[in-house]
Amino acid sequence: MKYIIKDNQAGFVLKDGMFQKMLTAGTYHFSRAFGYEVEIEEMTGELDYMDVPYQVLSRDKTFLNATVHMEIPDGSVGFIYLNGKLTTFANRKEYTFWNVFDTYEIKVVSMEETVMGNEVTKQMLSMLPQKYYTEMKVGEGETGLVYYDNVLKKQCTRGVYRFWNYEHDISFRVFDMKQRELDIVGQEILTRDKIGIRMNVACMFKIRDAVEFSEKILDLKGQLYSAVQLVIRETVGNYRLDEILEIKEKISGEIFAALKEKETMFCIDFLTAGIKDIILPGEIKEIMNSVLVAEKTAQANVISRREEVASTRSLLNTAKLMEENTTLYKLKELEYLERICEKVGEISVNGNAGIVEQLGRLMGTEAG
């Protein structure tokens, strides 16, 4: 039987189903009567073994020269390059490519070193299945803790870290080390004089040490919220309502001091703590408003009386001066006369007395 093999093809000669040799381009004749058969394959891409093991095919030198065989060892991953360009992730352990018209290469990367090295590029990473590695991102002001098989291995600052999941089971925790705010809103408190009020308190804190924190604290927000609530109740409950309203800043300082004593328990540092708002019941608010109005009215009355006393004292002093000084008294009379004249449209003079004499009589004196 006649077989024609083209330039881009290869022929595999089988006799009685057993591989004999590989043929390149040309025309060949083989008799089926003697058990011969030729399988023709395109020499592009990955090789189809045609149910013949590679170890058998590799005995033929022509086959070896036309192909490239690559195996990925245990503990490694591979990336397939075609003509120098990365094309895909090698998801099997063994590959055989035709290497006549195209150049194939597999880059092998070891996973035995747990920390992923810089040889793994972003393009490789985009093709690498997530199951092979663990990625940890640590932002500004954060601390990352990495665990190998649940044992703390390293502490990391800002950056992106990747670890192979081959030798160890990798896990991590990222902690925000920046200062944070905790608001206690509408906390109900019974004052020492048995008045129920509500209070808003704000606290600022930050984690002191990430390693110590991870070993001791499971639910910081819930535990810290409860602790601050208790401190507020214990501190504010020792004061009467009028004291709370009067010395709010002092009470805020006591709350802060009490929280500072609990820092070790929570592995944090309290930065500030203080009362933001005090919310009174409706009836208490009305009473406070009435008291405030009464106080302001009393203050206004006191001020008014002070002004009256000051005015009276001024008049008394003026009278004494005029009594002791006749000239000053006369000047005062002339001042009042001047004011009267400013208000009078015209002055009528009767009789034969002169104007000066009549004005003098008006003032109770005789003209000279």
Place of tokens 């009355």: 301
Q: Is the pLDDT of residue 227 over 80?
A: yes
Q: Classify the phi-psi angles of 175: left when phi > 0, otherwise alpha if psi is within -120 to 50, otherwise beta.
A: beta
**Tens digits of residue pLDDT in 152-182:** 999 999 999 999 999 999 999 999 999 999 9
What is the amino acid identity at position 214? S
Confidence category of residue 293, pLDDT binned at 50, 70, 90? low
Token digits of residue 64: 């070896």
Distance in angstroms (rounded) separating the CA atoms of residues 5 and 10: 7
Looking at the structure, give the CATH architecture of the domain made up of residues 181-280: 2-Layer Sandwich (3.30)
Place of tokens 């920390």: 115
How many other C-beta atoms are found inside a 10 Å radius of the C-beta of residue 6? 13
Range with the largest mean pLDDT of 1-5, 68-72, 133-137, 351-355: 133-137
- Looking at the DSSP bridge assignments, the partners of residue 2 are 29
Among 41-50, 59-68, 278-287, 304-313, the least confident range: 278-287
Confidence category of residue 316, pLDDT binned at 50, 70, 90? confident
Token digits of residue 165: 């999941």
Output the CA angle 249-225-202, nearest 5 degrees: 30
Q: Is the pLDDT of residue 297 over 60?
A: yes
Token digits of residue 34: 């003697």
Distance in angstroms (rounded) separating the CA atoms of residues 6 and 100: 13
Average pLDDT, the chain: 85
